[in-house]
A = this chain, B = another copy of it.
Amino acid sequence: MNKKEIQEQRVKKYFIDSTVNLLKTEGLRSVNVRSVADNAGYSFASLYNYFKDLNELIFESVKVFVEECNDFISERVENSIQGKERIRDISVLYVKYFLEYPGAYELFFLERMGNIGNKEQICDLIYNSLNDLCKDDFAYCVKKKVFSAEQAEVLKKQLNYCVAGMLLFYHNRHNPKDYKEFITTVTEQINQVLQ
């Protein structure tokens, strides 16, 4: 990476960090070319020297959130029991991460992607974000014959779909009505998936 590329990456990072901050503090609705550029210390027009459009910039921040989410969860499951128990803990923490950052939820699951460059890569990153976290423990369960290998594949997907569905209804359709009831439902549903 030559000097020019280094500087370009630096400026891109200013924009991405600005976007991440806005997503965390104000949510997706508050992310627009002018607010992002202001926060980054540039004019809104400069944004287009580094990103094809606003959407491309917004989805660049997925990588940052995936890493942060992984850290958030890793820190908190160190004492969890390997296998089903840890899958359960990870899944609940995954939900809690997106409750803490609704802007990240909107980005991961709701925002339209349009024609960004590395669409497939980012889609896969999002789709696999929970599965990657649970991978080892599912493998452990298969090894210990808690699940068959085929069963594990179905259950991984089910966990992912069920969690995404719960977050969708809670975030977008206020169901369940309050946080407490929601967390009860989350644990109940995750337990049901893992049987």
Whether the Cβ atoms of B110 and A173 lie closer than 8 Å is no
**Contact present for B172 and A157 (CB under 8 Å):** no
Bound Cα distance from A168 to B123, whole angstroms? 12
Q: Is the CB of B173 within 8 A of A123?
A: yes
Task: Tell me whether A48 is interfacial, beta carbon within 8 Å.
Answer: no
Distance in angstroms from A107 CB to nearest chain B CB is 11
A164 interface neighbour in B119, B127, B160, B168, Cβ under 8 Å: B168
- Cβ contacts under 8 Å, A113 to chain B: 172-173
Of the residues B110, B158, B185, contact of A193 by C-beta under 8 Å: B158
- Nearest opposing residue in chain B for A161, CB measure: B165
**Residues B123 and A154 in contact, CB atoms below 8 Å apart:** no
Can you name the residue of chain B whose Cβ is closest to the Cβ of A151?
A: B192
